[in-house]
Amino acid sequence: MVTDRINDFLRATRSNEPFVVVDLDVVRDNFNRLSRALPESRVFYAVKANPAPEILALLAKLGSSFDAASVPEIEMVLAAGATADRISFGNTIKKERDVARAYELGVRMFAVDCPEEVDKIARVAPRSRVFCRILTNGAGAEWPLSRKFGCTPDMAVSVMRHAFDSGLEAYGVSFHVGSQQPDTGAWDVALEDAARVFRALANEGINLKMVNMGGGFPARYLKDVPSSQDYGKAIFGALRRHFGNRLPETIIEPGRGLVGDAGVIRAEVVLVSRKSEDPDAERWVFLDIGKFGGLAETMDEAIRYPIRTPHDGERTTPCVIAGPTCDSADVLYEKTPYHLPISLTIGDEVLIEATGAYTTTYAANGFNGFAPLKSYVI
Whether the Cβ atoms of residue 189 and residue 138 lie closer than 8 Å to each other: no
| Residue whose CB is less far from its own copies, 37 or 177 | 177
Residue 348 binding its own copies, by CB under 8 A? no
Residue 223 binding its own copies, by CB under 8 A? no
| Residue whose CB is less far from its own copies, 229 or 273 | 273
Rounded to whole angstroms, how far apart are CA atoms 126 and 88? Answer: 15
Rounded to whole angstroms, how far apart are CA atoms 29 and 11? Answer: 24
Residue 53 binding its own copies, by CB under 8 A? no
3-class secondary-structure state, position 21: strand
Whether the Cβ atoms of residue 67 and residue 77 lie closer than 8 Å to each other: no
The size of the interface with its own copies (CB under 8 A), counted in residues, is 79
* Closest distance of CB 246 from its own copies, Å: 27
Q: Which of 178, 173, 212 is nearest to 194 (CA)?
A: 173
* Closest distance of CB 245 from its own copies, Å: 31
Rounded to whole angstroms, how far apart are CA atoms 256 and 131? Answer: 22
> Which residues from 155-174 bind its own copies, rule CB under 8 A?
155, 158
> Which residues from 320-339 bind its own copies, rule CB under 8 A?
322, 324-331, 334
Binder among 69, 100, 234, 342 for its own copies (CB under 8 A): 69
Stretches 58-66, 102-110, 256-264, 355-363: which one binds its own copies (CB under 8 A)? Answer: 355-363
Complete DSSP assignment for 93-113: ---HHHHHHHHHTT--EEEES
Residues in the chain: 378
Binder among 15, 152, 229, 317 for its own copies (CB under 8 A): 152
Residue 342 binding its own copies, by CB under 8 A? no
Binder among 90, 254, 257, 263 for its own copies (CB under 8 A): 90
* Closest distance of CB 345 from its own copies, Å: 9
> Which residues from 97-136 bind its own copies, rule CB under 8 A?
97, 113-114, 116-117, 120, 135
Rounded to whole angstroms, how far apart are CA atoms 234 and 216? Answer: 14
Binder among 12, 14, 16, 280 for its own copies (CB under 8 A): 16
Stretches 78-86, 233-241, 259-267, 319-327: which one binds its own copies (CB under 8 A)? Answer: 319-327
Rounded to whole angstroms, how far apart are CA atoms 30 and 48? Answer: 17
Stretches 139-147, 203-211, 229-237, 335-343: which one binds its own copies (CB under 8 A)? Answer: 139-147
For residue 269, what is the enclosing H or E element? strand 263-274
| Residue whose CB is less far from its own copies, 81 or 247 | 81
| Residue whose CB is less far from its own copies, 93 or 247 | 93
- Active-site option among 114, 151, 319, 326: 326
Residue 12 binding its own copies, by CB under 8 A? no
Q: Distances in Å between the alpha carbon of 181 and those of 22, 143, 231, 314, 317?
A: 23, 8, 10, 33, 30
* Closest distance of CB 100 from its own copies, Å: 12
Rounded to whole angstroms, how far apart are CA atoms 322 and 328? Answer: 9
Rounded to whole angstroms, how far apart are CA atoms 324 and 315? Answer: 25
CA 116-122-126 angle, 5° bins: 160
State residue 344 phi and psi, 5-degree precision: -60, 135
Stretches 2-10, 201-209, 232-240, 354-362: which one binds its own copies (CB under 8 A)? Answer: 354-362
| Residue whose CB is less far from its own copies, 239 or 340 | 340
* Closest distance of CB 36 from its own copies, Å: 27
State residue 285 phi and psi, 5-degree precision: -115, 120
* Closest distance of CB 62 from its own copies, Å: 22
319 is catalytic: no
Whether the Cβ atoms of residue 210 and residue 201 lie closer than 8 Å to each other: no
Residue 241 binding its own copies, by CB under 8 A? no
Whether the Cβ atoms of residue 90 and residue 68 lie closer than 8 Å to each other: yes
> Which residues from 251-280 bind its own copies, rule CB under 8 A?
268, 270-277
Q: Distances in Å between the alpha carbon of 5 and those of 1, 11, 25, 59?
A: 11, 10, 9, 19
The residues annotated with a catalytic role in the active site are 326
